[in-house]
Chains A and B, each alone.
Chain A
Amino acid sequence: GAGVSQSPSNKVTEKGKDVELRCDPISGHTALYWYRQSLGQGLEFLIYFQGNSAPDKSGLPSDRFSAERTGGSVSTLTIQRTQQEDSAVYLCASSSDRGPSNEQFFGPGTRLTVL
């Protein structure tokens, strides 16, 4: 079946512009996660959605970052007034249950470059 998809695959933007990154999780998966990965670094947790519960936003690095998940499916990560340090690969993952012991399936990521 279809895996997690993300769009765009690459995004180049100018400093100060807003960007929106999209994630389509695996159908039926209730949990959705956003991470970012900078070159040579591990995955940095950003935000986590589980069903209709309030999202865990504890990993968002600043108030320029926000995310929403509509209808319990598609999610959009928005970065306002982008800065050069926002350049990274943004990865979305979904899993079938809330528990951290469940396998997370990752999308291919969006490579964001802020000039």
Chain B
Amino acid sequence: RKEVEQDPGPFNVPEGATVAFNCTYSNSASQSFFWYRQDCRKEPKLLMSVYSSGNEDGRFTAQLNRASQYISLLIRDSKLSDSATYLCVVAFYKLSFGAGTTVTVRA
């Protein structure tokens, strides 16, 4: 079983739509959780950390469910510039990356 599993998508949504997706992780001892964003043929960049109480950063909302061992990301009022692959990242003593969920926002 992979340490971090994500629905690869793609999620194709119109501008202004809300899109949400999850990832699951296998190690219950995982300590920290993140979403990274990776544009096509570019390096990953930190989008946001995920806190136990849930957190927002503008149009992005992240949730953590430790009991069920999943993390979610919700994007509201999606923009064309949100088109990217979103990597779920879980840290125990090192970071484990999911394969990514591809989101395409169309005009």
CB within 8 Å of B: which residues of A?
A: 33, 35, 40-43, 45, 48, 56, 91, 100-101, 103-104, 106-109
Contacts and interface: CB of A to CB of B under 8 A. Distances in A.
B4 A106 contact: no
A51 to B, nearest CB: 16
Contacts of A35: 97
Interface residues of B, number: 21
Contacts of A100: 31-32, 91-95
Interface string B82-107: 00000100011111111110000000
Interface SS of A by simple majority: loop
Contact of B98 (A42, A56, A104, A107): A42
Contacts of A41: 99
A103 B97 contact: no
A47 to B, nearest CB: 10
B43 interface: yes
A7 B42 CA distance: 15
Nearest to A100: B91
Contact of A106 (B8, B44, B93): B44
A104 B99 CA distance: 17
Nearest to A56: B94
Nearest to B6: A42
B94 A48 contact: yes
Contacts of B94: 45, 48, 56, 100
